[in-house]
Amino acid sequence: MDLKFVRAVKELTGHPDFTYVRKPSTPCIEVDRVYVLPKLADLMHAVKMVLPKVQFGIVPHKYFSTDKPLEQLAVYRSDDLFSLGCIGIHEDKYCVYSRHIKNARARSNNPGHHRAVSADLSRIAKTAAAKLRPFSMEFEAAHTFSLLREHVIRRSAQAEADLAALCSLDTGDVCREIEHYLREKTFAFNTASFKRLRDNYISTRNACLANRERSKGAYYVRIHAGNATLIEAVDVSVRRQSALTFKKEACTMLADDLPYDIQAKIATLMMGPVDLVTDEVGVRLDDTHFWVERND
């Protein structure tokens, strides 16, 4: 998914996979074991003044250089699923990148469309306070539901492959039944091996047909400070890449008041790794965000 300047928070905690052999030759300031441009350090301080709860993280990028200070950092809160955006230096000016910024002078596919630029530090800090804000439950759900959808599509593809493989098996059992008919003029179709083949075919075919039309109903759940917020996604066919829709607005309750089946599934997901879809259970995005499959 292309979230432009938005990254999953779990990708930002930690440090880049390189260490500076020596301090970069260009002017820089060391911040938490990495070197940043002096103006970026000033911007970090200004943003921290207006958004005291945010943290700064390294934006994953394959073009990291060990001889240049960082020019851009992600801004995030540890309890959020996605980062709020980025701050950086562009052409010696302060920049804020956020999906909440809509610059009409640049096209939507241009990085400048989501960028605010200013030479005034106090002005850009005010922009950061207004635009670096968390995303809605609907946004988070829409950009993570693909994990469930893709899992079901893989299951459907496997069921199709199993049926095709079964249809291509040696037909010796069927031939023996035909030989029996030629000798006895009646169909027996009652050998043990043929019954196994018949039962296997029927179960495989039924599974294949069920997966072709399968829809996924699930709850997106966010848990924070003892409260749980959840929103129910309407069934979405895995065969049609339709937009995700919701039955009603998100509701908040005490985490202990969640329906028992949802609590049980969240407990199960907490015992497994992140981003691993468990059949009939759901997927854990991090320690506080979950997709839980609905019991139908």
φ, ψ of residue 206 to 5 degrees: the values are -65, -40
> What pLDDT shows up at residue 1?
29
High-pLDDT (> 70) share of the chain, %: 77
Confidence grade of residue 64 (pLDDT, cut at 50, 70, 90)? low
Instruction: Estimate the crossing angle of helix 172-184 against helix 192-212, to 10 degrees.
Output: 130
pLDDT higher than threshold 80 for residue 32: no
Cβ atoms 46, 123 nearer than 8 A: no
If you average pLDDT over residues 40-66, what whole number do you get? Answer: 82
pLDDT higher than threshold 80 for residue 129: yes
Cβ atoms 185, 227 nearer than 8 A: no
> What pLDDT shows up at residue 13?
53
Beta bridge partners of 228: 223, 253
Cβ atoms 288, 222 nearer than 8 A: yes
If you average pLDDT over residues 201-223, what whole number do you get? Answer: 80
C-alpha to C-alpha distances, 8 to 210, 224, 262, 277, 293, nearest whole angstrom:
34, 17, 24, 18, 22
Confidence grade of residue 2 (pLDDT, cut at 50, 70, 90)? very low
Confidence grade of residue 84 (pLDDT, cut at 50, 70, 90)? very high
Residue-range domain boundaries for the chain = 9-135, 151-212, 216-293
C-alpha to C-alpha distances, 75 to 48, 56, 82, 197, nearest whole angstrom:
10, 5, 10, 59
- The Cβ-side half-sphere exposure at 205, using a 13 Å CA radius, reads 8
The one-character DSSP state at 10 is G
pLDDT higher than threshold 90 for residue 266: yes
Angstrom distance (rounded) from CA 1 to CA 149? 13
High-pLDDT (> 90) share of the chain, %: 28
User: What DSSP string runs through 55-95?
Assistant: EEEPPP-TT--TTS-B-EEEEE-TT-SB--EEEEEETTEEE
167 or 149, which is more confident: 149
The one-character DSSP state at 176 is H
